[in-house]
């Protein structure tokens, strides 16, 4: 560590295998613990009695999803080369997390929560032979209403998810590429879309969801890496 200035880094990690069974809060704790073990000169969270790294995280991920795009921002008390930061983090992460990228960002930079509004998924499973044709019929609909349970099932909200689908295509007999917008009061899980596509009788437990990318969509429709 050569410089005495505060430095902020944006870290991208993957999670696979047993790590996919972690809740978002459990994942946050696992990543905080890794930063604590790494030996990096983290800035502590002043709201806690025990020294804990001050980190900010990207959008929550559902239990059961693997991912190549879990993000967090981290403040360090001294600057270092991103490769050095990545090496120290990699040595502290468990076997089911891996560092994909580390880059230094300005101190005043759009937060992950404020900038990320698009997600790319890869979904693998036993799609029917007619999946490509039925997907085309689904996508030509002007509206795709889906009911979402709210307040623990106390009420049901009906939303049109068609504007949220940026792209969907079968890339093989058992692989779907799906790109979705999301934001406050306008989110849909891949499973809900699969139920609308196949009907409620189709079991979904054999489908596996991989979060491949998190992106920022600009007002002009350009997709950027956060």
Residue 139 lies in a domain: yes
Letter string b/e over residues 13-31, b meaning 16 or more CB atoms within 10 A of that residue's CB: bbbeeebbebeeeebbebb
Q: What is the mean pLDDT of residues 119-133?
A: 96
> Beta-carbon neighbour count of residue 121 at 10 Å?
20
DSSP state at residue 43: P
Residues 149, 82 share a domain = no
Residues 136, 38 share a domain = no
The residue among 169, 34, 180 whose CA lies nearest residue 97 is 34
Residues 107, 79 share a domain = yes
Residues 167, 100 share a domain = no
Q: What is the mean pLDDT of residues 203-212?
A: 95
Alpha-carbon distance of 221 to 161, in angstroms, equals: 18
pLDDT computed for residue 102 by the predictor = 98
Tens digit of pLDDT for each residue in 23-59? 999 999 999 999 999 999 999 987 666 778 999 999 9
- The last residue of one of the domains, among 112, 134, 157, is 112
Min mean pLDDT across 7-11, 77-81, 148-152, 164-168 is at: 148-152
Domain interval for residue 121 = 116-224
Residue 172, C-beta contacts closer than 8 angstroms, at least 6 positions apart: none
Q: What is the mean pLDDT of residues 117-141?
A: 96
Is residue 174 exposed (0-12), middle (13-18) or buried (19+ Cβ within 10 Å)?
A: middle
CA angle, 42 then 45 then 49, to 5°: 115
Residues 192, 135 share a domain = yes
Residue 154 lies in a domain: yes
Q: Which residues pair with 155 in a beta bridge?
A: 150
Residues 127, 216 share a domain = yes
Query: What backbone phi and psi angles, to 5 degrees, belong to 112?
Result: -60, -45
User: Residue 97 to residues 39, 50, 128, 161: CA-CA distances in angstroms?
Assistant: 18, 25, 33, 32
Please give the model's pTM, rounded to 2 decimal places.
0.91
Residue 1 lies in a domain: no
C-beta separation of 210 from 121 below 8 A: yes
Residue 43: give its domain's CATH number: 3.30.70.580
Letter string b/e over residues 192-214, b meaning 16 or more CB atoms within 10 A of that residue's CB: bbbebbbeeeeeeeebebbbbbb
Residue 169 lies in a domain: yes
pLDDT computed for residue 224 by the predictor = 95
Number of structural domains the chain divides into: 2
Q: Which residue has the higher pLDDT, 149 or 184?
A: 184
pLDDT-derived band at 158, boundaries 50, 70, 90: confident
Residues 16, 102 share a domain = yes
Query: What backbone phi and psi angles, to 5 degrees, belong to 58?
Result: -80, -170
């Amino acid at each position: 560590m050569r410089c005495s200035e505060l430095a902020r880094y944006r870290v991208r990690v993957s999670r696979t295998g047993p790590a996919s069974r972690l809740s978002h809060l459990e994942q946050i704790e696992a990543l905080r613990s890794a930063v604590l073990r790494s030996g990096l000169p983290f800035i502590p969270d002043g709201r806690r009695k025990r020294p804990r790294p001050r980190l900010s995280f990207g959008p929550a991920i559902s239990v059961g999803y693997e991912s190549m795009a879990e993000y967090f921002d981290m403040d360090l008390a001294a600057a270092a080369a991103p490769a050095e930061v990545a090496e120290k983090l990699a040595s502290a992460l468990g076997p089911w997390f891996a560092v994909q990228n580390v880059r230094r960002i300005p101190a005043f930079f759009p937060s992950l929560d404020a900038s990320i509004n698009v997600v790319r998924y890869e979904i693998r499973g036993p799609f029917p032979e007619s999946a490509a044709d039925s997907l085309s019929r689904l996508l030509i609909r002007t509206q795709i209403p889906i009911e979402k349970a709210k307040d623990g099932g106390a009420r049901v909200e009906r939303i049109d998810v068609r504007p949220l689908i940026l792209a969907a295509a079968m890339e093989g007999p058992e692989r779907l590429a799906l790109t979705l917008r999301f934001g406050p009061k306008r989110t849909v899980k891949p499973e809900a879309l699969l139920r609308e596509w196949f009907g409620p009788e189709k079991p979904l437990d054999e489908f596996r969801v991989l979060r491949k990318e998190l992106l920022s969509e600009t007002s002009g429709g350009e997709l950027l890496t956060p």
